Amino acid sequence: MVENGQDVTYGMGDATYRAVGGHEGLVKLVDDFYDAMDSLPEAKKIRAMHREDLTESRDKLVHFLSGWMNGPQIYAEKYGSINIPMAHAHIRVDESDRDAWLLCMQHALAKQDYPQALQDYLMQQLFRPAERIRQVSEAHHAP
């Protein structure tokens, strides 16, 4: 794919991190994500899984996504190591919760000035950890 006159392959090196606008771009994306979670009726249940004050959740997601997109590995520096599925295992997450989370991200991505190819790539890639969280939660809460 060619973007701004450069050949860009998302997922290679820090191409995805740069494409979203680096740290500032991630802050905007995450703010729009949590704003969607606050406003979308489909997200009411997953919003209730969070604290009322989303400051720490916003910060953690920015830090996580930075490393996940091969940008600076700042999550571990601030919060320590993380296994995303296990970090959510205590919460009952079903398919509708996974889909609500992804819907919030889709809304947030649509508010960014990202090429459609980047939005599609991120949604495809984010499905994997979202689904893994659901699988681990299901196994953890199985009778």
Question: What is the overall mean pLDDT for the chain?
Answer: 92
Question: pLDDT by residue (tens digit) across 40-86?
Answer: 999 999 999 999 999 999 999 999 999 999 999 999 899 988 888 88
> Of all residues in the chain, what percent carry a pLDDT higher than 70?
94
- Decide: 20 and 69 in contact? Cβ < 8 Å: yes
Both structure tokens of 12: 């290679």
- Decide: 101 and 49 in contact? Cβ < 8 Å: no
The model's pTM:
0.90
The pLDDT confidence band at residue 6, using thresholds 50, 70 and 90, is low
pLDDT in the model for residue 94: 95
Q: Is the pLDDT of residue 2 over 70?
A: no
Nearest to 118 by CA among 24, 17, 13: 17
Alpha helices in the chain (DSSP H): 15-19, 22-39, 44-47, 55-68, 74-79, 84-87, 95-110, 116-140
DSSP state of 41: G
Nearest to 19 by CA among 131, 122, 100, 138: 122
Distance CA 60, CA 82 (A): 11
Residue 46 burial (10 A CB sphere; 0-12, 13-18, 19+):
buried
Please report where in the chains the tokens 């689904």 appear, as a residue. Answer: 131
Distance CA 126, CA 17 (A): 14
Nearest to 49 by CA among 62, 34, 64, 63: 34
Question: pLDDT by residue (tens digit) across 11-43?
Answer: 899 999 999 999 999 999 999 999 999 999 999
Q: Is the pLDDT of residue 5 over 70?
A: no
